[in-house]
Amino acid sequence: MGLKIYIDGTFYEKEQAKISVFDHGLLYGDGVFEGIRSYNSLIFKCREHIDRLYESAHTIKLKIPLTKEQMTRALVRTLQANKLANAYIRLVVTRGVGDLGLDPRKCPQATVIIIASQIVLYPERLYKEGLKIITVPTVRNLAEALNPQIKSLNYLNNVLAKIEAVHAGFEEAIMLNAQGYVAECTGDNIFIIKQGCLYTPPQSVGALRGITRDTVLGLAKKARIPAREAMLTRHEVFNSDEAFLTGTAAEVIPVVEVDSRGIGSGAIGPLTKRLMSAFRAATKTEGERYTV
């Protein structure tokens, strides 16, 4: 069975799934998106992802032609059409078809696209051995210029950083902000553990408030692991006892080396393992249930 793509209420085979070359999502990266996971016929943190999508759209004055309930049903229909119990879902809303000018008023109707497929961001062995990452020169966008809480289709800042990581032979990289503080990685949030306390950069330094990030903070609270947001430099990262990354596609993945400095013992730490296990358990219970 071929992949079926949802575009504005209709399903198309992958080869026939097309949008206009005049769509402002293509021309200008003008739109918003969410990456969502389903596990065993449960859309993990579905409400949180849908809420964030509509918040991003509201901030850029993009009117989504579906209610939140209709959007959730469209997600479920897409998973069912592809007979997927476990999937990575890319939900995209573009400004829609306009002309070659910037003016969003020329785009009368937003375009809604839903793709449900599979994703393997990192090899399985790295969840057992841990990631080695670097810091790249590309600086995180200024929050005053493009707020990181808007999950926009303009991801060139992250793509440029990813290019630098790949060119250097690494899977992932840390991005600093203009003041030299750790913001996030090219596609993931970052956490460190020092003396039993969990730390992650605040939104104000240019970090996205990730759904998986917030899930881990909630799991830490339940496990009575002290956790807080903190301004981090590379010095704090280098001298942490443990480190890991979080993201919808990445889930929770340990980090054992940053810029050739070993993290802690150089092996995956006990609190990281504990949180990885707690996250896997959470994916079985928290979300929107559906049938295939």
207/91 Cα distance (integer angstroms): 21
Per-residue pLDDT, averaged over 77-91, amounts to 97
Residues 193 and 252 in one domain: yes
- At position 224, the amino acid (one-letter code) is R
Question: At which of 73, 89, 117 does a domain end?
Answer: 117
The pLDDT, as a whole number, for residue 1 is 66
151 is catalytic: yes
Asked if residue 292 belongs to a domain, the reply is no
| Of 4, 45, 132, 151, catalytic | 151
Q: Are residues 80 and 174 in the same domain?
A: no
Q: Band the pLDDT of 232: cuts 50, 70, 90.
A: very high
Between CA 76 and CA 58 the distance in angstroms is 23
CATH number at residue 216: 3.20.10.10
Residues 136 and 258 occupy one common structural domain: yes
Q: Residue 229 and residue 145: Cα distance in Å, rounded?
A: 22
The count of domains in the chain is 2
What's the predicted TM-score (pTM) here? 0.94
Say yes or no to pLDDT of 22 above 80: yes
Range of the domain at 137: 124-282
DSSP assignment letter at 291: -
Closest among 117, 102, 163, 169 to 137, alpha carbons compared: 163
pLDDT tens, position by position, 30-53: 999 999 999 999 999 999 999 999
Residue with the two structure tokens 């793709």: 115
Average pLDDT of span 62-89: 98
